[in-house]
Amino acid sequence: MLSRVADSLYWMSRNVERAENIARIVEVNQQLMLDVPSQQAVDLQRNWLPVIACLGEEPEIDGRPIKPDAGSVTEFLVFERGNPNSIVSCLCAARENARTVREQISAEMWEQINRTYLWCLGKSARQSFDRNQYEFFQRLKKSLQLFQGITETTMIHEDGWDFIQLGKYLERADKTSRLLDDEYHLLRRDKATANDHILQWLAVLRSCSARQTYQKIYATTVQPVKVAELLILHESFPRSVKFCAMHLDEALRRISGVPPGRFSNHAEKLSGRLVAELSFSSIDDLHNRGLHQAVDDLQVKFNAIGSAIFATYIYQAITPAAIIPEVQQVPQE
Amino acid sequence: MPATAAKKNAAARKRRSPFGDYQPGGFFDEMFDRNRVVRPHYRKLLERMERLSPDALDQRRQMADTTFLNQGITFTVYSDSQGTERIFPFDLVPRIIPASEWEHIEAGLVQRITALNLFLHDLYHHQRILHDNVIPRAYIDGAKHFRREFIGFNVPRNIYIHICGTDLVRDDSGQYLVLEDNGRCPSGVSYVLENRQTLKRVFPSLFEAYGVRPVEGYPEDLLNLLRYIAPHGKPNPTVAVLTPGIFNSAYFEHSFLARQMGIEIVEGRDLIVENSHVYMRTTKGLQSVDVLYRRIDDDFLDPRVFREDSALGVPGIVEAYRAGNISLANSIGTGVADDKVMYYFVPRMIKYYLDQDPILPNVPTWLANEPDDLKYILDHLPELVVKAANESGGYGMLIGPHAAKSEIEKFRRLVKSDPRNYIAQPTLKLSRHPCFLDGRFEGRHVDLRPYILYGEKVTIIPGGLTRVALKKGSLVVNSSQGGGSKDTWVLEGND
């Protein structure tokens, strides 16, 4: 597969996953605001600016800080083209990526991403957003989930699909760990009441679509350590860090054909180590190290895997050894 | 039913029919004859269309537009700073060509492409046609796209133009004429295939009423052709489409064709040349490439040989081409045949190489470089169409009868200062075809671009792209100038 194509598939996937994550996070925070007693500006600032931080953004447009109220922040995260990581910007990028690889993806995938893009940039999305944000986010999430479902069921599961998995799981691991990281930040300097904390942690769970799962597994009140255990170490929950790391590692091994326990490039070495580390850690280990530090370390590791994938597959150095030998034709009798 | 009631009904139907007051209006109309009697091969179509109300037709039109938009069947408009993509307007009414008419067109096109390839081979080898003074040498010396450096170079299978998109028009007597040959990178074939898909979705029952020859075999024919020209007859060559990239107005088509053929689409930056071999950068390493269907003009192909400022090309690819390690379709140097001055000489080429008379005549043409012709051109500018010899896409063109005085004077100066690069033709009364516009049918001028593949044999897509000048009275059908398109049907029979 062409390196440029692999790169586009990877970014298409990352951008779709990112848009969906932003939608979920913004929506959940909005719901949260309804639950928190209205304490005006200070609280608004407390709840909205970290959302931006968690999405890895500087809260400013053209160097000017944005107002920390709900309206300005959601606008910034959803529609602002000047914010490269707004939902609209992610959709534009994903659709542009898809457009460059249309011959690699299924026709249904292209139609779905194109339709979502046309909708989100058009008048009717704006109207829906102004009328009822809940409906807007529902529709947006469904459209993006539909895209992932279509990808799963209509695209051939070969290299291209694996690069899509890489993008998806790296992005997802990044968002889950950032959400946790952000909460720990907040907890440390926060003087909020215990009740507020529970609401915050509930919001984290809901941002990861993990509310029901949590209840099912633990059947207890929301406790930060258990939330962390679910979101970091659970191996079957699809938004947990470990789940992402395992699937990332599998995709890398499908691409190279190298079995687990060995590696043929730097990306595999790093991902293999990460999976091993997560497999042989308990939440107490992480807690003893300091959860905040542990989550920070995870982020650094995922970033390193991303860079290694780029160096291995996308922009490898050109050497004579890189030339693939041609298969000689066996002369027919 | 009493006779008067039946009459009344018929009258009411006629009033409601969106064709009610349609008039051919002094032009050759594809659907109706001079007396507004429907031509036999359009009869069934008319019957169906008359049964639909304008609202129902409008619904189908919207359905077609939505299909195009959702599938991203769009082109980019350069003048638009947003780089917006637009759908290529599609008209619901198909153009229908009966079998006997198509046979004539096909024979004419085969003859023409054969002569053009013989001409290019001659021009890049012994130049007999120049020695015999059939074409004055001065015209070749002054030809912008003649690649001197390839004289004596042998292209695979001696084919220069592999893919040709010849533009045909019909005059007011209905005679088919060749307007120009596009022997470099003709575009539009993806619309032929997509228009057919769309019309099948919108009017499924119409197809049942007619025997329409399918167009879907084109990508396979193209792939076979590309494999046929592989270097040294290599049996399983790696073939790819080379595109200037996503910002090119025809990117959709490049990607569409690659998808249909199941081959890679590459940009210049995906390719590198090592030891005169071309490779593409893949996730597994560098994979060798044998044949490129390149949708990049000669000028931008290799910054080391042609335009240095080209960021689209592949440094060293010409060297690999010369070494015979990569085949290109079309070959380098075909642009000389697209020169509108060379067009003038095509009937002579047919006579010279094939000893035949042209089956499809040229539009009468004057060469500004010939003193008598020049005088005629300058005396008759307000009636003529003047074209720059090496422009395309409807640019660099004067349509005398539609032009302002200042525009005519501008072309007078241009023609005088550079007569080699201008030709003139009479303003043709191009044929018209009914189009569904604003709830009713109106006649609009059309042309026809069949796509010709010259490989082991010559194959022509049945029909081609019918382009429509959607602006009232306009003669310019180019998509960049407000043109649209129609599905084009070649019938198995004659009605």
Q: What share of chain A is helix, strand, coil (3-state, %, to 5)?
A: 75, 0, 25
Residue-level pLDDT at B118: 98
Segment among A73-77, B219-223, B465-469 with least mean pLDDT: A73-77
DSSP string, B318-383: HHHHHTTS-EEESPTTTHHHHSHHHHHHHHHHIIIII----SSPBPP-EETTSHHHHHHHHHTGGG
Report the pLDDT averaged over residues B336-341. 94
* Cross-chain residue pair B70–A115, CB shorter than 8 Å: yes
Query: Which residues on neighbouring strands pair with residue B491, listed in sequence order?
Result: B212
Using a CB-CB distance cutoff of 8 angstroms, which residues of chain A are in contact with residue B264? 2, 5, 103
Q: Using CA atoms, how far apart are residues B469 and B473, in angstroms rounded to an integer?
A: 8
Asked whether A59 and A66 are in contact (CB, 8 A), the reply is: yes
Q: What is the ipTM of this complex?
A: 0.77
Residue-level pLDDT at A70: 77
pLDDT tens digits along A249-286: 999 999 999 998 899 999 999 999 999 999 999 999 99
Dihedral sign computed on CA atoms, order A282, A285, A291, A297: negative
Write phi, then psi, for B172 (nearest 5 degrees): -75, -5
Residue-level pLDDT at B142: 85
Q: Is the pLDDT of residue A333 over 50?
A: no
Q: Is A320 helix (H, G, I), strand (E, B) or coil?
A: helix
- Give percent of chain B above pLDDT 90: 74
Question: How many other CB atoms sit within 10 Å of the CB of residue B236?
Answer: 11
* Cross-chain residue pair B236–A329, CB shorter than 8 Å: yes
Q: Is A34 helix (H, G, I), strand (E, B) or coil?
A: helix
- Find the CB nearest B70 among A3, A114, A313: A114
Report the pLDDT averaged over residues B276-288. 93
- Give percent of chain A above pLDDT 70: 85
pLDDT tens digits along A190-230: 555 556 678 788 888 998 999 999 999 998 888 888 999 99
Q: Using CA atoms, how far apart are residues B342 and B100, in angstroms rounded to an integer?
A: 30
Report the pLDDT averaged over residues B110-120. 98
Asked whether B221 and B453 are in contact (CB, 8 A), the reply is: yes
pLDDT tens digits along B34-52: 999 999 999 999 998 888 8
Q: Using CA atoms, how far apart are residues A37 and A58, in angstroms rounded to an integer?
A: 27
Higher-pLDDT residue of B309, B36: B36
* Cross-chain residue pair A4–B279, CB shorter than 8 Å: no
- The residue of chain B with its CA nearest to that of A116 is B70
CA distance B208 to chain A (A): 27
* Cross-chain residue pair B246–A96, CB shorter than 8 Å: yes
Question: B282 touching A, CB under 8 A?
Answer: yes
Report the pLDDT averaged over residues B421-446. 93
Query: Which residues on neighbouring strands pair with residue B75, listed in sequence order?
Result: B86
- The mean of the pLDDT values for chain A is 87
pLDDT tens digits along B54-91: 889 999 999 888 888 877 777 666 554 444 667 788 99
Q: Which residues contact B11 (CB under 8 A, 6 or more apart)?
A: none
- Buried-state track B31-68, b at ≥16 Cβ within 10 A, e below 16: bbeeeeebbebbeebbeebeebeeeebbebbeebeebb
- Find the CB nearest A324 among B255, B266, B284: B284
- Give percent of chain B above pLDDT 70: 93
Q: Is the pLDDT of residue B215 over 70?
A: yes
- The mean of the pLDDT values for chain B is 91
Report the pLDDT averaged over residues A89-102. 93
CA distance A137 to chain B (A): 21
Read off the pLDDT band of B138 (50, 70, 90). Answer: very high
Using a CB-CB distance cutoff of 8 angstroms, which residues of chain A are in contact with residue B259? 102-103
Q: Using CA atoms, how far apart are residues B419 and B371, in angstroms rounded to an integer?
A: 9
Question: B439 touching A, CB under 8 A?
Answer: no
Report the pLDDT averaged over residues B205-209. 86
Residue-level pLDDT at B81: 41
Residue-level pLDDT at B83: 47
Q: What is the DSSP letter of B39?
A: P
Segment among A31-40, B403-412, B430-439 with least mean pLDDT: A31-40
pLDDT tens digits along B351-363: 999 999 999 999 9
Q: Which of B87, B92, B43 is nearest to B439 (CA)?
A: B92
Residue-level pLDDT at B80: 42
CA angle B413, B415, B421 (to 5 degrees): 145
- The residue of chain A with its CA nearest to that of B246 is A100
Q: Is the pLDDT of residue B279 over 60?
A: yes
Segment among A180-194, A272-286, A294-308, B313-327 with least mean pLDDT: A180-194
* Cross-chain residue pair A4–B269, CB shorter than 8 Å: yes
Q: Is the pLDDT of residue B103 over 80?
A: yes
Q: Is A306 helix (H, G, I), strand (E, B) or coil?
A: helix
Residue-level pLDDT at B5: 59
pLDDT tens digits along A97-150: 999 898 889 999 999 999 999 999 988 999 999 999 889 999 999 999 999 999
Read off the pLDDT band of A325 (50, 70, 90). Answer: confident
Q: Are strands B163-165 and B90-97 parallel, antiparallel or unpaired?
A: unpaired
* Cross-chain residue pair B267–A96, CB shorter than 8 Å: no
Asked whether A109 and A131 are in contact (CB, 8 A), the reply is: no
Place of tokens 């036999």: B40
Using a CB-CB distance cutoff of 8 angstroms, which residues of chain A are in contact with residue B72? 99, 102, 110, 114
Q: Using CA atoms, how far apart are residues A249 and B70, in angstroms rounded to an integer?
A: 35
Report how many Cβ contacts below 8 Å link chain A to chain B.
75
Residue-level pLDDT at B312: 87
Asked whether A199 and A46 are in contact (CB, 8 A), the reply is: no
Report the pLDDT averaged over residues A44-60. 66
Question: How many other CB atoms sit within 10 Å of the CB of residue B439?
Answer: 12
Report the pLDDT averaged over residues B124-143. 95
- pTM, 2 dp: 0.83
Question: A318 touching B, CB under 8 A?
Answer: yes
